[in-house]
C-alpha cells in the first residue's frame, strides 16, 4: 500500500474514532499505534510509553496550567461587572459608541484569559444585556462579540501559542510577544469596522447618554487599574527577559489571587473551583498533546511527513500560494475540529513543508493562530458560535452571518502580516532572551 493509501486509511480510522465519541487524545494514540504496528518495523508499545511520558512531562508545558489557572481566578472575580462601568463612559463619543466595549473589553480580558471561549463568555455576560437594554442592533452586538472574543487566542498569554510552541520547538516567550502587535491590529480592525458601519447607519445607533465629567470617568476607570497593571507586569516581565513564560505565569497566578482577595472574591469555594476548572482543562489539553506527539512519531516512522513535504515541494508553490492553501485547509478543518485539535493533529505533517519553503516558524505560529481564530466563528463547530448560541438563544446560522464581517477582517489581518512581517517579528527581535 502506498503512502497516499496509508494516509487515507489512518484519516478514515481517526474520524471514525472521533465520531464514535472516543476522547481526542485516546483516538490519536489508537490511530498512531495501529499505524506504527502495521506500517513500520518499530515496536509501538515502548515508543508510545516513552513519547507520551515525554510529552506530558515537558517543563515548557508548565506555563499552560498556570496561565489557565490565572484566567480561571480572574473569571470568578467582579472584573466583568466592573469593566463595563469603567469602559462605557469613554466610548460614548466614538462612532458606534458602546459597541466598542465588546472589542476593548475582549482585548483586556484576552490578556488575562488565554481562552477564546472564556473571553467571549465573560465579556458577553457583561455587554449583551446592557447593549440590548440600550437598543443597539442585535446583529452588530453579537457579531462584534463573536469576532472580538477570538482575541483570547492571539493576545498573550495564549493557550494555543503554548501548544504550538511546544510542538514546533519555538520560544513561547517570543510567541507571546509576537502576538501583541497583530492582536492590537485585529482589535483596531474590529473597531474600525464598527466606526464605518455606524457612520453609514447613524440612525441604527442609540443616542449618546449624558456624558459624565472627567473626574467621574476617571473614578470609574479605577476598577480596571489593578487588572491592567497585572497584565502589564506579566507581559513586561517576559519582554524584558526578567522571567520565562513559566515564571511569568506563576507570578500572574499570585497576582490574580491577590487581586481576587482585594475584591473580597477569594473564598475557599472560589479557590477550589478555579483550581479544579484549570485542572480539568489542562488534563484534556495534555492528553491531546500526548496523543499528538505519539501520532507525529508514528507518522515519522511511516514516512508520511517526508513524502508530503516532497510532494508539496514538487508543486513549486510560492510562499504566498502555500500559505493560502494552508489557510483554506485550516478553515475547512475548523468546520469540524476545535483550535487546539487542529494544531496538534496537523503540525507534525505541516511543519516540514513550511520549513522547506523557508517560512519562519515564529511568524508561522502567529499566522496559524489567526487562521484558527477564523475557525472559532465558522459553523458547524465554531466554539464562539456555540457560546453565543447558549447566551442569546439565536440559531447558529444567524450568529454565523452576524460574525461574517469579522471573519473577513481576520483574512485581512492574515494578509497584512504576510506583506508586513515586521508586525510579527519586530518585538521578538528586540527581546533580551
CA distance 276 to 72: 9
- Residue 310's pLDDT is 66
For the CA atoms of 131, 134, 138, 139, the dihedral, rounded to the nearest 10 degrees, stands at -70
- What is the pLDDT, as a whole number, of residue 114? 67
Least confident among 105-119, 172-186, 245-259: 105-119
The whole-number pLDDT of residue 36 equals 83
Residue 9 belongs to a domain:
no
Q: Band of the pLDDT at 344, cuts 50, 70, 90?
A: confident
Opening angle at CA 391, ends 155 and 395, nearest 5: 105
Q: What is the pLDDT of residue 418?
A: 94
User: CA 9 to CA 28: how far, in whole Å?
Assistant: 14
Q: Is residue 347 part of a domain?
A: yes
**pLDDT for residue 414:** 94
CA 369 to chain centre: 6
Range name among 66-75, 157-166, 358-367 with the lowest pLDDT average: 66-75
Q: Are 374 and 331 in contact (CB under 8 A)?
A: yes
The alpha carbons of the chain give a radius of gyration, in whole angstroms, of 22
**In the predicted structure, residue 222 carries a pLDDT above the cut 90:** no
pLDDT of residue 408: 94
Measured distance CA(371)–CA(232) in Å, rounded: 26
Taking 90 as the threshold, does the pLDDT of residue 82 lie above it?
no
- Give Cβ neighbours of residue 256 (< 8 Å, ≥ 6 apart): 69, 70, 73, 74, 112, 230
Dist CA 409 CA 374 (whole Å): 10
Confirm whether 17 is domain-assigned. no
Binned at pLDDT 50, 70 and 90, residue 155 comes out as: confident
Residue 407 contacts by C-beta under 8 Å, 6 or more apart in sequence? 147, 374, 377, 378
pLDDT value for 45: 80
pTM flag (> 0.85): no
Cell numbers of 141, please? 452586538
Name residue, grid cell 454565523.
Answer: 400
User: Tell me, what's the pLDDT at 209?
Assistant: 64
**286 occurs within a structural domain:** yes
* pLDDT greater than 70 at residue 4: no
Q: Give the pLDDT of residue 122.
A: 72
Q: Mean of the pLDDT values across residues 94-123?
A: 80
124 or 250, greater pLDDT: 250
pLDDT at 366: 95
State the residue range of the domain holding 312. 23-429
Lowest-confidence segment of 41-55, 175-189, 241-255, 333-347 by average pLDDT: 333-347
Give the highest mean pLDDT range of 9-18, 124-133, 242-251, 405-414. Answer: 405-414
The pLDDT of residue 378 is 81
User: If pLDDT is split at 50, 70 and 90, which confidence band does 300 have?
Assistant: confident
Q: Which pLDDT band, with edges at 50, 70 and 90, does 261 fall under?
A: confident
- State what percent of residues in the chain have pLDDT above 70: 89
**Domain presence at residue 106:** yes
Out of 99-108, 195-204, 266-275, 294-303, least confident range: 294-303
In a domain, 156, yes or no: yes
- Residue 188's pLDDT is 95
The answer as to whether 38 is a domain residue is: yes
DSSP, residue by residue, 280-296: HHHHHHHHHHHHHHHHH
Q: What is residue 249's predicted lDDT score, i.e. its pLDDT? A: 82
pLDDT at residue 433, as a whole number = 52
Note the pLDDT of residue 316. 76
- Band (pLDDT 50/70/90 cuts) for residue 3 is low
pLDDT band at 211 (very low <50, low <70, confident <90, very high): low
Q: Which of 187-201, 248-262, 288-302, 402-416 has the lowest mean pLDDT?
A: 288-302
Looking at the predicted structure, is the pLDDT value of residue 53 above 60? Answer: yes
pLDDT of residue 84: 67
| pLDDT tens-digit readout, 367-425 | 999 998 888 788 766 777 877 887 788 888 899 899 999 999 999 999 999 999 999 99
Average pLDDT over residues 292-321: 75
Classify each residue of 327-364 as buried b or exposed e, where b means 16 or more C-beta atoms within 10 Å of its C-beta: beebbebbeebbbbbbbbbbbbbbbbbbeebebbbbbb
What are φ and ψ of residue 244, in 5° steps? -75, 175
Distance between CA atoms of residues 280 and 270, nearest Å: 15
Q: Give the pLDDT score at 365.
A: 94
How many Å apart are CA 156 and CA 422, to the nearest integer?
Answer: 18
Q: State which of 176-185, 304-313, 340-349 shows the largest mean pLDDT.
A: 176-185
Number of domains composing the chain: 1
Give the best-scoring range by mean pLDDT among 111-120, 298-307, 348-357: 348-357
Query: Is residue 242 assigned to a domain?
Result: yes
The pLDDT of residue 67 is above 90: no
Amino acid at each position: 500500500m502506498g503512502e497516499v493509501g496509508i494516509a487515507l486509511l489512518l484519516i478514515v480510522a481517526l474520524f471514525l474514532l472521533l465520531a464514535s465519541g472516543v476522547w481526542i487524545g485516546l483516538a490519536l494514540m489508537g490511530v498512531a499505534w495501529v499505524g506504527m504496528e502495521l506500517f513500520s518495523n518499530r515496536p509501538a508499545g515502548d515508543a508510545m510509553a516513552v513519547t507520551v511520558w515525554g510529552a506530558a512531562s515537558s517543563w515548557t508545558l508548565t506555563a499552560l496550567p498556570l496561565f489557565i489557572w490565572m484566567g480561571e481566578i480572574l473569571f470568578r472575580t467582579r472584573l466583568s461587572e466592573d469593566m463595563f462601568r469603567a469602559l462605557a463612559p469613554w466610548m460614548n463619543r466614538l462612532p458606534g459608541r458602546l459597541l466598542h466595549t465588546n472589542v476593548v473589553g475582549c482585548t483586556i480580558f484576552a490578556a488575562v484569559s488565554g481562552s477564546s471561549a472564556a473571553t467571549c463568555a465573560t465579556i458577553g455576560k457583561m455587554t449583551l444585556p446592557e447593549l440590548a437594554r440600550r437598543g443597539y442592533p442585535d446583529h452588530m452586538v453579537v457579531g462584534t462579540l463573536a469576532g472580538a472574543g477570538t482575541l483570547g487566542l492571539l493576545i498573550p498569554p495564549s493557550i494555543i501559542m503554548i501548544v504550538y510552541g511546544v510542538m514546533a520547538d519555538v520560544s513561547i516567550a517570543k510567541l507571546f510577544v509576537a502576538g501583541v502587535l497583530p492582536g492590537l491590529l485585529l482589535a483596531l480592525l474590529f473597531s474600525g469596522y464598527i466606526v464605518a458601519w455606524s457612520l453609514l447607519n447613524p440612525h441604527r445607533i442609540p443616542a449618546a447618554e449624558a456624558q459624565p465629567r472627567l473626574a467621574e470617568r476617571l473614578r470609574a476607570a479605577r476598577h480596571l487599574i489593578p487588572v491592567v497593571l497585572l497584565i502589564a507586569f506579566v507581559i513586561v516581565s517576559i519582554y524584558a527577559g526578567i522571567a520565562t513564560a513559566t515564571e511569568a505565569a506563576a507570578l500572574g497566578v499570585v497576582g490574580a489571587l491577590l487581586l481576587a482577595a482585594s475584591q473580597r472574591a477569594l473564598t475557599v469555594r472560589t479557590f477550589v473551583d478555579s483550581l479544579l476548572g484549570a485542572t480539568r482543562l489542562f488534563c484534556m489539553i495534555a492528553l491531546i498533546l500526548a496523543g499528538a506527539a505519539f501520532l507525529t512519531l508514528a507518522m515519522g516512522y511511516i514516512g508520511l511527513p517526508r513524502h508530503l513535504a516532497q510532494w508539496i515541494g514538487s508543486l513549486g508553490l510560492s510562499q504566498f500560494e502555500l500559505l493560502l492553501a494552508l489557510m483554506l485547509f485550516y478553515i475547512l478543518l475548523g468546520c469540524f475540529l476545535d483550535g487546539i485539535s487542529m494544531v496538534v493533529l496537523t503540525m507534525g505533517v505541516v511543519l516540514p513543508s513550511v520549513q522547506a519553503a523557508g517560512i519562519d516558524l515564529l511568524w508561522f505560529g502567529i499566522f496559524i493562530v489567526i487562521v484558527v481564530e477564523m475557525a472559532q466563528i465558522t459553523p458547524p463547530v465554531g466554539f464562539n458560535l456555540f457560546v453565543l448560541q447558549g447566551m442569546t438563544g439565536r440559531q447558529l446560522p444567524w450568529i454565523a452571518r452576524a460574525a461574517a464581517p469579522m471573519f473577513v477582517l481576520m483574512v485581512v489581518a492574515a494578509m497584512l502580516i504576510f506583506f508586513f512581517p515586521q508586525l510579527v517579528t519586530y518585538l521578538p527581535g528586540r527581546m533580551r532572551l
